[in-house]
Amino acid sequence: MKIVVPVKRVVDYNIKPRVKADGSGVETAGVKMSMNPFDEIAVEEAVRLKEKGAATEVVVVSIGVQQAQDTLRTAMAMGADRAILVLAEESPEPLAVAKVLKAIVAKEEPGMVILGKQAIDDDMNATGQMLAGLLGWGQGTFAGKVEVADGSVRVSREIDGGTEEVSLKLPAVITADLRLNEPRYASLPNIMKARKKPLETLNVADLGVDTTRRLTVVSVAEPAQRAAGVKVGSVAELVEKLRNEAKVI
Amino acid sequence: MNETVRESMEFDVVIVGGGPAGLAAAIRLRQLSPETSVCLIEKGSEIGAHIVSGAVIEPRALAELLPDWKERGAPLNTQVTAEEMLYLTETGSLRVPFLDKFMPHMANHGNYIVSLGEVCRWLATQAEELGVEIYPGFAGAEVLIENNRVVGVATGDMGITREGKPGPNYQPGMELRGTYTLFAEGCRGSLTKQVMAHYDLRKGVDPQTYGLGIKEVWEVPAEKHRPGLVQHSFGWPMDDQTYGGAFLYHFGENLVSYGFVVGLDYPNTWLSPFEEMQRLKLHPAFRKHLEGGRRVAYGARALSEGGLQAMPRLTFPGGALIGDSAGFLNVPKIKGTHTAMKSGMLAAEAVVDAMQSQRAEPATFTQRVKESWVWEELRTARNIRPAFARFGAKKGAIYSALDAMIFKGRAPWTLHFKHADNEVLKPATLTAKPNYPKPDGQLTFDRLSSVFLSATNHEEDQPVHLHVKNQALWKTVNWDVFRAPETRYCPAGVYEVVDEAADPKLQINAQNCVHCKTCDIKDPCQNIDWTVPEGAGGPNYPAGM
Ligand SMILES: Cc1cc2nc3c(=O)[nH]c(=O)nc-3n(C[C@H](O)[C@H](O)[C@H](O)COP(=O)(O)OP(=O)(O)OC[C@H]3O[C@@H](n4cnc5c(N)ncnc54)[C@H](O)[C@@H]3O)c2cc1C
Ligand SMILES: Cc1cc2nc3c(=O)[nH]c(=O)nc-3n(C[C@H](O)[C@H](O)[C@H](O)COP(=O)(O)OP(=O)(O)OC[C@H]3O[C@@H](n4cnc5c(N)ncnc54)[C@H](O)[C@@H]3O)c2cc1C
Ligand code: SF4
């Protein structure tokens, strides 16, 4: 079985994002970018399935700017076999991504697509679900555990207050949650080897997909600053403040 | 550390450190000898992640390395258009007139205000285009020496737990073997230190003296922004025995780079470089530039201030020291980028020469340096910093003006540094505590909110990378005599004293470390050893730094 893993290049999770002065978005010029952490988990899971013999090939795909090839190289250093870069504008919308992925699936015919549950830049949490919808495949979102059996996959889903077990017929779409696994480091020897693994570059137009934006960003703002706390001298003062200033009692 | 077999890879040249020196050397090597395989490692998570600089740079070396740097899109976009040197008193300031006469080294015509991190990222793309293999996120942790020749370095193991055992994600380090190895670790390199000791490279030279630079980047309202303006100051808040000054540069899109450099030969154990840099912003001469803006970045880094007198032997069998690792900074100018780059280029030439003649030591490097403009420049500058160390700030300034005007830097004598920076601290009982104002949250801040802006991150589960060699010594010297100066000089709040009243102990919050190297330099007994943490750990300085 072949597994396709879409990986997104996003602002590194260590970076404190800075909203552009004109409120049109988050500053990305010169900002450190790396693989969306949930996608690292997805890559790790696919590589483990291959190591266990449940999969035969892991293909990683990124849709975005030229520099996304660094992200793909990292995924290959973790163990993916080859990569496809689909050139498009930076951070396309989930529906556009899902459509491109559908075209890639038609080309590659994988038995499974494993995505991250959400990308940490726009937190859409939508691409996996949209892709499953477009393909008409079953979906196991927020996966905390994945077990492949004959022609099907069992997924433990992380839901409020517990887990839900679902069994899906293959082919299927899975989205990775935080506890699915702990991704490995890309070791230096593997990074060196990944430079020689195949990376194919395509254009969105080649795939015949329309990626025109349908969403408009109205404005982006930083969360309001929290007011500084105060120390109260006594219980009486606390009660007084809660009643007269905070007006909660 | 571990017995697992390490993989190894052979290169013609291995370069440790992706700052201006290492990158310029890599580019030069491939230009001169396109067949030479060059591997460069950088401990930061990406090139530029650990670079802190002013920076006003002289494009001289860059123009020699890549004459068409403008066409190639080098990020040198703000030319210096105006400059001021101020002598500060607590509330006032005096402008030094005729700057180019009294302080010719401070004149900046033709120079550019840049983010050195961005320049390094750009240099890295140039190097990669020429075929240099660059691996960020990997720290050189060990020097490989065989038959008294340096044969490369090994990267650190990854995934070692805090207790020092291999964890679930353990990956052994890798040997990067090179016919030649260039150490370009910048100021106070941790491997450079080992190489200097092994080959006794510092024999017969003055002790190296250092400065600590702390820097912030501000975004200011457009109407206040004066791109191209350079302002330097000396005087307040430093006393006469302490060498220090501030810089403020307007550049880029509404950005202002503000920083403060203090000589680490300061004697007062109560001095806090961080708080000095904070309170200086309250001075009218600085406040007026920053008020109404917001702080977007913070970082700190030591710089080598010893100049020629403190420069070690530059080569050894199997390699050379370049850039700030060797101490190529021009101190009165506080510029080290152009000299670092030039030293890297000259070392590359010496390596190619040694490769052709199959010599182990790229010994012509030293001669090449002596015949270049770098030597002339550093010779001219050589007496200024030691004059400050010897005569204090005011007389030192007068000396340097006379030196510039009468001797043009060619005085027939050379002043020397007598003490290493760790030897000059005075006991806590003999020095007065400065009275630092509380942070106001607008212009001035505390350490922790500052470190937050440096986006510093270290994998939690790893051994502490700051080694206190002798715990007992910490109590009897650092605490009893000096009252824990590390809690004040560390710009990242790594060192804390707990249980002060009953049983004082040193707590090390290693995950906050911004890799400035000050503790390795200033600890009174050299009892703190800075070693590389797991690769990719440390600050992630954003664009603008
Ligand atoms: C308090 C809280 C904090 C969280 N913090 C984080 C965090 O920091 N990081 C993180 O990764 N995740 C976080 N999550 C989880 C994250 O918010 C959810 O994973 C995500 O919201 C799921 O989005 P969804 O659009 O798939 O589905 P949902 O949020 O379940 O649904 C979206 C919307 O669809 C509609 N809908 C759903 N079902 C039906 C139905 N049967 N009929 C009609 N309408 C329906 C509802 O209008 C609903 O609001 C948090 C969740 C909570 C509750
Ligand atoms: C506050 C401040 C202001 C300054 N202002 C100016 C200015 O205005 N103009 C100017 O020209 N110069 C200025 N300088 C000096 C200038 O920044 C340095 O001289 C220059 O950066 C030195 O270059 P380098 O390549 O030798 O070292 P660095 O720039 O320090 O680069 C060394 C690199 O090696 C990496 N490294 C270190 N050890 C290892 C290891 N073991 N393994 C892997 N990687 C490692 C580091 O992470 C770093 O990226 C300033 C410096 C400071 C601190
Ligand atoms: S621990 Fe040492 S190297 Fe790290 S930030 Fe503090 S003084 Fe600098």
For B255-306, the pLDDT digits (tens) are: 999 999 999 999 999 999 999 999 999 999 999 999 999 999 999 999 999 9
B124 at interface of A, judged by CB pairs closer than 8 A: no
- Rounded to an integer, the average pLDDT of B416-424 is 88
- pTM comes to 0.89
Q: Which of A26, A188, A190 to mutate to test the interface with B (most CBs of B within 10 A)?
A: A188
Asked whether the beta carbons of B105 and B333 are under 8 A apart, the reply is yes
B118 at interface of A, judged by CB pairs closer than 8 A: yes
B6 at interface of A, judged by CB pairs closer than 8 A: no
**What pLDDT, on the 0 to 100 scale, is given for residue B168?**
87
Please give the DSSP secondary-structure letter assigned to residue B283. Answer: S
Q: What is the DSSP string of B24-41?
A: HHHHHHHHH-TTS-EEEE
Question: A20: nearest CA in chain B?
Answer: B219
Q: Give yes or no for a cis peptide into B55 (omega within 30° of 0).
A: yes
**What pLDDT, on the 0 to 100 scale, is given for residue B2?**
47
- Round to whole Å and give the CA distance between B286 and B284: 5
CATH number of A2-244: 3.40.50.620
Per-domain residue ranges of chain A: 2-244
Q: What percent of chain B has pLDDT over 70?
A: 99
- Contact A185/B159, CB-based, under 8 Å? yes
- Round to whole Å and give the CA distance between B456 and A74: 21
| Residue B515 CB less than 6 A away from ligand 3 | yes
For A136-169, the pLDDT digits (tens) are: 999 999 999 999 998 999 999 999 999 999 999 9
Task: Please tell me the total number of residues recorded for chain A in this structure.
Answer: 249
pLDDT band of residue A16 (cuts 50, 70, 90) is confident
Q: Tokens 């024999």 appear where?
A: B203
Asked whether the beta carbons of A18 and B296 are under 8 A apart, the reply is yes
B168 at interface of A, judged by CB pairs closer than 8 A: yes
Tell which residue, B390, B341, B313, B280, has the closest CA to residue B63: B341
* The listed CATH number (3.20.20.140, 3.30.310.50, 3.30.70.20, 2.60.40.10) that belongs to domain B443-530: 3.30.70.20
Q: Would you list which residues of chain A are within 8 Å, Cβ to Cβ, of chain B?
A: 12, 14-16, 18, 21, 27, 29-32, 34, 182, 184-185, 187-189, 191-192, 195, 228
Ligand nearest to the CA of B490: 3
pLDDT band of residue A193 (cuts 50, 70, 90) is very high
Task: Give the residue numbers of B annotated as catalytic, written as ranges.
Answer: 53, 301, 337, 490, 513, 516, 519
Can you tell me whether residue B169 is helix, strand or coil? Answer: strand
| Residue B513 CB less than 6 A away from ligand 3 | yes
**What pLDDT, on the 0 to 100 scale, is given for residue B528?**
97
Residue B1 pLDDT > 70 = no
- For B176-208, what is the HEC assignment? EEEEEEEECCCCCCHHHHHHHHHHCCCCCCCCC
Average per-residue pLDDT for chain B: 94
Task: Please tell me the total number of residues recorded for chain B in this structure.
Answer: 545
Tell which residue, A108, A109, A110, A82, has the closest CA to residue A7: A82
**Chain B residues inside the 8 Å CB shell of A188:** 7, 135, 138, 155, 173-174
C-alpha pair distances (Å), B30 with each of A235, B42, B134: 73, 18, 13
Please give the DSSP secondary-structure letter assigned to residue B6. Answer: P
Q: And the tokens for B157?
A: 């193991």
- Rounded to an integer, the average pLDDT of B11-36 is 98
Helix (H) or strand (E) holding A10: strand A9-11
Average per-residue pLDDT for chain A: 94
**What pLDDT, on the 0 to 100 scale, is given for residue A51?**
97
For A203-245, the pLDDT digits (tens) are: 998 899 988 889 999 999 988 877 777 888 899 999 998 998 8
Question: A185: nearest CA in chain B?
Answer: B169
Residue A17 pLDDT > 90 = no
The residues pairing with B135 across neighbouring beta strands, listed in sequence order, are B41
Residue B326 pLDDT > 50 = yes
Asked whether the beta carbons of A196 and A83 are under 8 A apart, the reply is no
Least confident range of A180-184, B353-357, B381-385, B437-441: B381-385
| Residue A125 CB less than 6 A away from ligand 1 | yes
Shortest distance, CA B65 to any CA of chain A (angstroms)? 23
**Chain B residues inside the 8 Å CB shell of A31:** 542-543
| Alpha carbon of B304 to ligand 2 centroid (Å) | 10
Q: And the tokens for B407?
A: 């001797």
Residue B481 pLDDT > 50 = yes
- For B446-507, what is the HEC assignment? CHHHHHHHCCCECCCCCCCCEEECCHHHHHHHHHCCCCCCHHHHCCCCCEEEECCCCCCEEE
- Rounded to an integer, the average pLDDT of B414-430 is 90
C-alpha pair distances (Å), B73 with each of A135, B66, B122, B434: 44, 11, 8, 47
Nearest Cα residue to atom 50 of ligand 1: A160
Asked whether the beta carbons of B186 and B322 are under 8 A apart, the reply is no
**What pLDDT, on the 0 to 100 scale, is given for residue B369?**
98
Which one is predicted more confidently, A200 or B404? A200
Q: Tokens 């000089």 appear where?
A: B489
b/e per residue, A188-199, with b = 16+ CB within 10 A? bbbbbebeebeb
Q: Tokens 């780079």 appear where?
A: B257
Q: Residue B251 is which amino acid? A: F
Residue B238 pLDDT > 50 = yes
Q: And the tokens for B240?
A: 């006469």
**Chain A residues inside the 8 Å CB shell of B46:** 32
Ligand 2 pocket mutation pick from B305, B334, B339 by most atoms within 8 angstroms of CB = B334
Nearest Cα residue to atom 29 of ligand 2: B19
- Rounded to an integer, the average pLDDT of B220-249 is 93
| Alpha carbon of A160 to ligand 1 centroid (Å) | 10
- Round to whole Å and give the CA distance between A113 and A128: 9
Per-domain residue ranges of chain B: 8-69+117-206+308-380, 443-530
Q: Which of B135, B171, B456 to mutate to test the interface with A (most CBs of A within 10 A)?
A: B171
Nearest CB to B543; choose among A14, A29, A187:
A29
**Chain A residues inside the 8 Å CB shell of B9:** 189, 192
Q: Residue B54 is which amino acid? A: G
Angle subtended by helix axes A68-78 and A37-51, to nearest 10:
30
- Contact A14/B159, CB-based, under 8 Å? no
C-alpha pair distances (Å), A236 with each of A241, A242, A248: 9, 10, 15
pLDDT band of residue B3 (cuts 50, 70, 90) is low
b/e per residue, A5-28, with b = 16+ CB within 10 A? bbbbbbbbebbebbeeeeeebbbb
Asked whether the beta carbons of B216 and B238 are under 8 A apart, the reply is no
| Residue B138 CB less than 6 A away from ligand 3 | no
Asked whether the beta carbons of A242 and A249 are under 8 A apart, the reply is yes
For B342-365, the pLDDT digits (tens) are: 999 999 999 999 999 999 999 999
- Contact B49/A30, CB-based, under 8 Å? no
**What pLDDT, on the 0 to 100 scale, is given for residue B419?**
87
| Residue B54 CB less than 6 A away from ligand 2 | yes
- Round to whole Å and give the CA distance between B290 and B283: 11
Instruction: Say which CATH topology domain B8-69+117-206+308-380 has.
Output: FAD/NAD(P)-binding domain (3.50.50)
Q: What are the φ and ψ backbone dihedral angles of B49, each rounded to 5 degrees?
A: -60, -25
Nearest Cα residue to atom 16 of ligand 1: A125
Question: Any idea what the Cα angle at residue B177 is, between residues B172 and B181, rounded to 5°?
Answer: 120
**What pLDDT, on the 0 to 100 scale, is given for residue B4?**
62
Q: What is the DSSP string of B41-59?
A: EESSSSTTTT-----EE--
Residue B207 pLDDT > 80 = yes
b/e per residue, A98-118, with b = 16+ CB within 10 A? bbbbbbbbeebebbbbbbbbb
**What pLDDT, on the 0 to 100 scale, is given for residue A121?**
92
pLDDT band of residue B241 (cuts 50, 70, 90) is confident
The radius of gyration of chain B from alpha carbons, rounded to an integer in Å, stands at: 22
- Round to whole Å and give the CA distance between B244 and B212: 9
| Alpha carbon of B163 to ligand 2 centroid (Å) | 32
Give burial (CB, 10 Å; 0-12/13-18/19+) of B326: buried
Residue B322 pLDDT > 50 = yes
Shortest distance, CA A48 to any CA of chain B (angstroms)? 14
- Rounded to an integer, the average pLDDT of A63-88 is 96
Residue B403 pLDDT > 90 = no
Can you tell me whether residue B297 is helix, strand or coil? Answer: strand
Give burial (CB, 10 Å; 0-12/13-18/19+) of B50: buried
Question: B159: nearest CA in chain A?
Answer: A185
B135 at interface of A, judged by CB pairs closer than 8 A: yes
Q: What percent of chain A has pLDDT over 90?
A: 77
- Round to whole Å and give the CA distance between A176 and A40: 9
- Rounded to an integer, the average pLDDT of A18-27 is 87
